[in-house]
Amino acid sequence: MKKKIKNIFLGTYVRGFVTLYALFTFVGAVLLMLPISLKEGQELSFIDALFVSVSGMSTTGLSTVVVADVLTRFGQLILAFIIQFGGIGLIMLLAVFWMFTGKNISYKERQFIVTDQNQVKSSKVVKLVRDVLIILFTIEFVMIIVMGFYLYFRGYFEIGESFFQAFFLTISMTANAGFDITGDSLFRYNADYVFQLMAMFLMFTGAVGFWPLVELKDWFIAKRKKEKFQFSLFSKILVYMHVGLWILGAVIVFLIERGNFFIDLSVIEQTFYSLFMSLTTRNAGFATMDIVNFKDATLLLFIVFMFIGSSPNSAGGGIRTTTFLVVLASIFSFSKSRDQVLLHKKAVKPETVMKSIIVIVVATFVVVTSTFMILAFDNITFKESLFEVASAFGTTGLSLGVTAGLNSFSKFVLIITMFIGRIGIVALLLFMQGHKKAQKIKYPEINLIVG
């Protein structure tokens, strides 16, 4: 019996990876419920503590409570560390501990890192871990200093509060978490374009993917040494897709809302609102205005963007930009009667195409099922339910303001959805699959009419 239970939770690399994250969220929930984490007179039920912990670990930002009102400084620090671990990857931080203690990272541990970072192979994965952490921690340290002084000299907060706000927001923005400790997201900065530029820089850094950041570092080193350096096709695709969807989304939001929510705003205000909202829907979850007032067409665009999510091997969730790109390329190739799916004059492996299609199908099933379950057992509209679920699956954190009023069942549905969004569809399927068994029998093929 004991061996059977161990096999269910630790039988494969993927199962160990999923179990570790599940345990981490439970520990986080317990820490958030400690008296030292809660302000005087405040209570936090286990379901709410678990919701906030999973939301932090998955870098979502949805919350059933107002963090600024419920959590003490200690509780906010706990939440910040949960967000940091979830955004960078718990396994990556364990890898740092292994490296600092001089421990050789075994094949099994490398496979954990590969699973956590959505990699194909384990070669150079240790270098990836080291470079990513150096880059992200350097960016966070610099931005905490810059943002802290900026908030103080602009008169937003006193010096101590300015730096704590900068500390929390920098982690939350880089991890694309969407949590804040003021209770109003970024509404107070809706006319502060310098602050918004800092926020967008951090959100972009966390969502574009770790590989482009590492290669950018290698490019700088090569330039300094006057050596040639060529960015990989993978990094180029991540950057092109991320920037392309960002600009496309901003243009669509600008055109739809210029006669609605933006009607009394200047062109500069409209541009910044459009750019910020297009980027934040791709996983960050921060808002500089009340999105409830947007048109349904804009909200539908946000749902699609939250579903797509950010780059693979980043702090974000969703089906990932590369999955979306491969499926689009597959459709185009089919319409042109091509035998191969092409990207930049390179053929995509058939198994990658199949995996992308499976990810979209299963992700759609997860979103539809979660939406149905909430609609069946809670009293909110279809639009509100679908938006919350898409935000949870995409680990975005944007909300139409109904999260706190959900019943316990709906909260649990969103907890599961956020968890799936963090670990990814592929990891979910591999967790259920267990050990891969060789298929000894070949069955006769049939042809079905489809489409």
The closest alpha carbon to 29, from 48, 53, 58, 9, belongs to: 53
Q: How confident is the model at residue 138 (pLDDT cuts 50, 70, 90)?
A: very high
The dihedral region occupied by 236, where left means phi > 0, alpha psi between -120 and 50, and beta the remainder, is: alpha
Rounded (10°) angle between helices 90-100 and 125-153:
110
Q: Between the ranges 68-72, 213-217, 344-348, 443-447, where is the mean pLDDT highest?
A: 68-72
**Tens-digit pLDDT profile for residues 124-133:** 666 777 788 8
User: At 85, is the pLDDT very low, low, confident or very high (cuts 50, 70, 90)?
Assistant: confident
Report yes or no: 132 and 139 within 8 Å, Cβ to Cβ. Answer: no
d(CA 161, CA 285): 23
| Number of alpha carbons in the 13 Å side-chain half-sphere of residue 320 | 25
Measured N-to-C along each axis, helices 73-88 and 125-153 cross at an angle, to the nearest 10 degrees, of 140
pLDDT at 313: 75
Alpha helices in 208-266 (DSSP H): 210-224, 233-257
* DSSP per-residue letters across 191-211: T-HHHHHHHHHHHHHHHS-HH
Mean pLDDT is lowest, of 70-79, 256-265, 342-351, for 342-351
Average pLDDT over residues 86-95: 65
Looking at residues 262-275, what average pLDDT do you find? Answer: 93
What is residue 399's DSSP assignment?
Answer: -
178 phi and psi, to 5 degrees?
90, 0
Distance CA 256, CA 96 (A): 46
- Does residue 164 register a pLDDT over 60? yes
Angle between helices 90-100 and 107-116 (to 10 degrees): 150
Confidence of residue 195 (pLDDT cuts 50, 70, 90): very high
Give the span between the Cα atoms of 180 and 55, in whole angstroms. 13
Q: Work out the pLDDT band at 122, boundaries 50, 70, 90.
A: very low
Tokens of 192: 């502060």
Q: Looking at residue 158, what is its pLDDT?
A: 97
Q: What is the mean pLDDT of residues 84-101?
A: 64
Is residue 100 scored above 70 in pLDDT? no
State yes or no: pLDDT of 8 exceeds 50.
yes
In percent, the amount of the chain with pLDDT more than 70 equals 87
Which pLDDT score is estimated for 104?
A: 59
Residue 52 has φ and ψ, to the nearest 5°, of -65, -40
Kind and range of the H or E run holding 29: helix 13-33
Other Cβ atoms within 10 Å of 161 Cβ, number: 14
Among 106-115, 180-189, 283-292, 419-428, the minimum mean pLDDT is found in 106-115
pLDDT computed for residue 106 by the predictor: 54
pLDDT at 9: 64
Give the model confidence (pLDDT) of 18-49 as tens digits. 888 889 899 999 999 999 999 999 999 999 99
Q: Does 118 score more than 80 pLDDT?
A: no
- pLDDT for 201 equals 96
The reported pLDDT for the residue numbered 6 is 67
Average pLDDT of the segment spanning 136-150: 96
Calculate the average pLDDT of the chain. 87
Contact (CB, 8 A) for 249 and 275 = no
Region 405-425: mean pLDDT is 93
Question: With contact defined as beta carbons under 8 Å apart, do 189 and 196 qualify?
Answer: yes
Note whether 95 and 210 are within 8 A (CB): no
User: Is the model more confident about 118 or about 14?
Assistant: 14
Residue 193 tokens, joined: 């374009």
Tell me the per-residue pLDDT of 272-325, one tens digit each, with 9 for 90 and over: 999 999 999 987 889 988 898 899 999 999 999 999 998 887 777 899 999 999
Residue 114 tokens read as 């590969």
HSE (side-chain half, CA atoms, 13 Å) at 244: 12
Kindly give, in sequence order, each residue whose CB lies less than 8 Å from that of residue 329, ignoring residues fewer than 6 positions away.
341, 342, 343, 348
- Angle value at C-alpha 59, between 428 and 47, nearest 5 degrees: 80
E strands, 339-428, in order: 341-343, 346-348
What length is written for the chain? 451
- The pLDDT score that the predictor gives to residue 423 is 83
Q: Which of 212, 210, 271, 217 is nearest to 87 (CA)?
A: 210
